[in-house]
Chains A and B, each alone.
Chain A
Amino acid sequence: MDVRRNWQDLPDAEGRFGAYGGRFVAETLMPLVLDLEREYRAAQADPEFAATMADFWTHYVGRPSPLYFAERLTAHHGGAKIYFKRDELNHTGAHKINNCLGQVLLAMRMGKTRIIAETGAGQHGVATATVCARFGLPCVVFMGATDIERQKPNVFRMKLLGAEVRPVTSGAATLKDAMNEALRDWVTNVADTFYCIGTAAGPHPYPEMVREFQSVIGREARAQILEREGRLPDAVMACIGGGSNAIGLFHPFIADEGVRLIGVEAAGHGIDDRFEHSAAINGGKPGVLHGNRTYLLQNDDGQILEGHSISAGLDYPGVGPEHSYLADIGRAQYLSATDAEALEAFTLCAKLEGILPALEPSHALARVGDVAREIGKDGLLIMNLCGRGDKDVFTVADALGVKL
């Protein structure tokens, strides 16, 4: 690895992280993404924008989220000290709102009057609907018809918050199709609409912008561990769907070469050629979808495959382009956990720590023990508990064969 690398230079002016990223969108959208980049740069340079954001983070979202020493889980695994970054304690129950707040504030600065978003499990949809309600903006959330059926409580939440949930029946009617439909809406409503993308993917500047909005996670965690332990951790860990919570945790540690960055992908029913998983890095190959080049689940003809995960939030055939880059250069390591392993970690965390984690971070939890033992007793590890599990109780009951 090149230790002289200036990490802050990524992405480059074309939105590239090495071979990944870029702006693979229809010509109609090009002026819009270029305009978005200009406006985002202006907002970045404006102390008032940062101050407004910080104020909402403190008083509306409830930041900083605690860094919690998971004492019993640490004892159970018998390795490094395990800390949880408690982003599940945020308003709306996940890290998603960090990013929505940033994007919606930017949209208002740009004079946009209508917000659209895609959602899979519904967490990003709920977070977007929440922020839109707070600022009185109309919000349309595209959601696959299949996901609407699987995630009824979140659909109702979005409606309570005043959002319109538009069912997507095209393709396989899941998250990737919801994203296609949101892009189709954006290309049709170019003048007044802001597309609030939920993960660190899509055309430049989205991967960078979402990373920056989510980096509050890693900045806090870094300061908190220095205060608690007087040193940096040996590893930071997070689950990877599109990878926004992971890049948010990783990025402030990226120049600290001694800190291992570990992502955990969803291995579903196992990573093999049945493609019943959502592990784009471990089981896919590079290609172009939704505006960026990145690792994707696809066949030899370049057709996109659906994938599977027990966790709807990880059930996406791609991954943010920066993760593809970090994987290729070896700066971050990408492990995986199956549905069954995530479930086991879910129940273990509930019993040992009194915390119901979402199924998404349960994937990271499933690998925490291995990593903690590998680092050893004197080590320190931070895992991002990026969402709470209340939304998943029906899925978990179903998987455990319990009738509610």
Chain B
Amino acid sequence: MSTRLASRFASLKREGRAGLVAYVMASDPDHEACFEILRGLPKAGADVIELGVPFTDPMADGPSIQKAALRALKAGGSLKQTLALAKRFRETNSDTPLILMGYANPIEQMGYEAFASAMRDAGADGAIIVDLPPEEDGPLRAAFAANGLSTIRLATPTTDANRLTKVLEGASGFLYYVSVAGVTGANAATSSAVRAAVERLRSATDLPIAVGFGVREPEAARAIALTADAVVVGSAFVDEIAAGPPGQAADRVLRKVAQLSEAVRSARELEGTPA
């Protein structure tokens, strides 16, 4: 398991606050602008960076991230470019964990061993591969374990107790709770549903729990930050890229990150105070 992820979650715990996991798509809108965003993310308040690997057929993603993948591919994005961006980021920052999120096929083509060693060389910390459920992620898990990388697993509203046991076997880094049955960027879950789910997960694992899918606004992020160890936001940042001139994409994204980070950071301080 990645030591960077472990120490980041340990320090969040010490600070008594939830963290922000900020998702952006590699090479969106192009390599350089994406690098500008990555470099600025820690200062804007991202506690963990989740870097999307562009793929032609993102079957678990909603329209925002689908479009981001197409923009990235058009700009020459690929798994190799994603790893190159991760490496450049790591040269500018040594303590913010960076994980990849993507689909199996680009990794199948590179090979699981080669992927894991390229990840380690790039200073990346782990990955979430959407279409590699526990039944299929054996080769990835073995290669990751050999390279000190975390295999991050997903739990969802359809994960019952039996299934959760299966999901937790071999999971590392943190547990990513997909708060709604649906695609990324869809409607948010209610805060009571999230609270109940997080409590259920906590009784089954000591791994930190990050909650995502459908978190776009500060209020929603704040509500989740009361119970979860981290809040994952993606589509809201990715939408900022398309929202204006590409030259200012980094500014827009980082502004949005700062806004969401502020909400996540202050959530527990505000708890109990009158609204």
Residues of B contacting A23 in the complex (Cβ-Cβ under 8 angstroms): 133, 135-136
A286→B160 CA distance, assembly (Å): 33
Q: Which residue of A lies closest to B79 (CB)?
A: A301
Residues of chain B contacted by A187 (CB below 8 angstroms): 60, 181-183
**Max chain A Cβ within 10 angstroms of own Cβ: one of B56, B154, B156:** B56
Residues from chain B with Cβ under 8 Å of A14 in the complex: 135
Instruction: Give chain B nearest CB distance to A294 CB in angstroms.
Output: 11
Q: List 10 A-B contacts (CB under 8 A).
A: A22-B136, A24-B133, A26-B60, A26-B154, A27-B156, A28-B178, A171-B66, A190-B181, A290-B57, A304-B56
**B155 contacts chain A at the CB level, 8 A cutoff:** yes
Chain B CB within 8 A of A180 CB: yes
Among the stretches B16-24, B87-95, B107-115, B263-271, the one at the interface with A is B107-115
Question: Which residues of the partner chain A approach B136 to less than 8 Å between Cβ atoms?
Answer: 22-24
- B191 in the interface (beta carbon within 8 A): no
Please name all residues of chain B whose beta carbon is closer than 8 Å to the beta carbon of A189 when the two chains form the complex: 181
Contact of B109 among A24, A27, A171, A301 (CB under 8 A): A301
Given contacts A14-B135, A171-B57, A288-B131, contact A27 B107 (CB under 8 A): no
Within the assembled complex, what's the spacing in Å between the Cα atoms of A304 and B55?
A: 8
Mask for A169-180, Cβ within 8 A of B = 1, else 0? 011000011001
Sort chain B's interface into a size bin.
35 or more
B83 to chain A, nearest CB (A): 12
Q: A303 CA to B42 CA in the complex, in Å?
A: 30
A298 within 8 A of B: yes
Q: A289 and B57 in contact (CB under 8 A), knowing A28-B156, A30-B163?
A: yes
Contact with B along A94-105 (1 / 0, CB 8 A): 000000000000
Contact B80 A301 (CB under 8 A): yes
Cβ-defined contact, A176 with B109, below 8 A: no
Give the CA-CA distance A170 to B183 in the complex, in Å.
14
Q: Is the CB of A304 within 8 A of B159?
A: no
Partner of B159, one of A27, A176, A286, A302: A27
Q: With contacts A31-B163, A170-B63, A188-B181 known, is A287 near B105, CB below 8 A?
A: yes
Q: Is the CB of A188 within 8 A of B135?
A: no
With both chains docked as a complex, state the minimum distance between the C-beta of B173 and any C-beta of chain A, in angstroms: 15
- Digitize B72-108: 1 where CB-to-A-CB distance is under 8 Å, 0 elsewhere: 0100001110000000000000000000000111111
User: How many Å from the CB of A167 to the closest CB on chain B?
Assistant: 14
- Name the contact of A180 in the complex, choosing from B57, B73, B130, B155 (C-beta under 8 A): B57
Besides A26-B60, A26-B133, A302-B105, 10 new A-B residue pairs in contact (Cβ under 8 A), listed by A number: A23-B135, A27-B155, A27-B158, A30-B135, A187-B182, A289-B57, A290-B59, A293-B108, A298-B109, A302-B106
Min CB gap B266→A, angstroms: 31
B154: which A residues are within 8 A, CB to CB? 26-28
In the complex, whether A183 has a CB less than 8 A from a CB of chain B is yes
Which chain A residue lies CB-closest to B106?
A302
Q: In whole Å, how far is A292's beta carbon from the nearest beta carbon of chain B?
A: 10
State in angstroms the CA–CA spacing of A293 and B159 once bound together. 24
Q: Which residue of A lies closest to B163 (CB)?
A: A31
B4 close to A (CB within 8 Å): no
Q: Out of B109, B158, B178, which one reaches A31, CB within 8 Å?
A: B158
Q: B44 at interface (Cβ–Cβ under 8 A)? A: no
The total of chain A residues at the interface (CB under 8 A) is 37
Nearest residue (CB) in B for A184 is: B183
Interface centre among A14, A26, A289, A304 (most CB of B within 10 A): A26
Question: Taking the complex as formed, is B258 at the interface, i.e. its CB lies under 8 A from any CB of chain A?
Answer: no
Considering residues A170, A177, A291, A304, which has the most beta carbons from chain B within 10 angstroms of its beta carbon? A170
Residue numbers in B under 8 Å from A180 (CB-CB):
57-59
B189 at the interface (CB under 8 A from A): no
Quick check: is A229 within 8 A (CB to CB) of the other chain? no
CB atoms of A26 and B59 under 8 A apart: yes
Q: How far is the CB of B176 from chain A (nearest CB, A)?
A: 9
A300 interfacial by beta-carbon distance below 8 Å: yes
Which chain A residues lie closer than 8 Å to B182 at the CB level?
28, 184, 187-188
Task: Establish whether residues A31 and B60, one from each chain, have CB atoms under 8 Å apart when the complex forms.
Answer: no
| A171 neighbours in B (Cβ, 8 Å) | 56-57, 66, 70
| B167 CB–A CB distance under 8 Å | yes
Are B158 and A28 in contact (CB-based, < 8 A)?
yes
The smallest C-beta distance from A316 to any residue of chain B, in angstroms, reads 12
Q: Which A18-54 residues have a C-beta within 8 angstroms of B?
A: 22-32
Q: In the complex the two chains form, is B131's CB within 8 Å of A26's CB?
A: yes
Give the distance in Å from the alpha carbon of A14 to the alpha carbon of B73 in the complex. 33
Query: How distant is the Cα of A171 from the Cα of B66 in the complex, in angstroms?
Result: 8
- Bound: A291/B59 CA distance, A: 10
Q: Does B197 reach chain A (CB closer than 8 Å)?
A: no
| A184 CA / B61 CA spacing, docked (Å) | 8
Asked whether A184 lies within 8 Å of B60 as measured between CB atoms, the reply is yes
For A304, the closest partner residue in chain B by CB is: B56
Quote the shortest CB–CB distance from A120 to chain B (angstroms).
Answer: 15
Shortest beta-carbon distance from A58 to chain B in Å: 38
Query: Which residues of chain B from 178 to 194 have any CB-CB distance to chain A below 8 Å in the complex?
Result: 178, 181-183, 186
Are the CB atoms of A27 and B59 closer together than 8 Å? no
10 interchain residue pairs of minimum CB distance: A302-B106, A302-B109, A302-B105, A27-B154, A188-B182, A288-B104, A28-B156, A301-B78, A24-B131, A26-B60
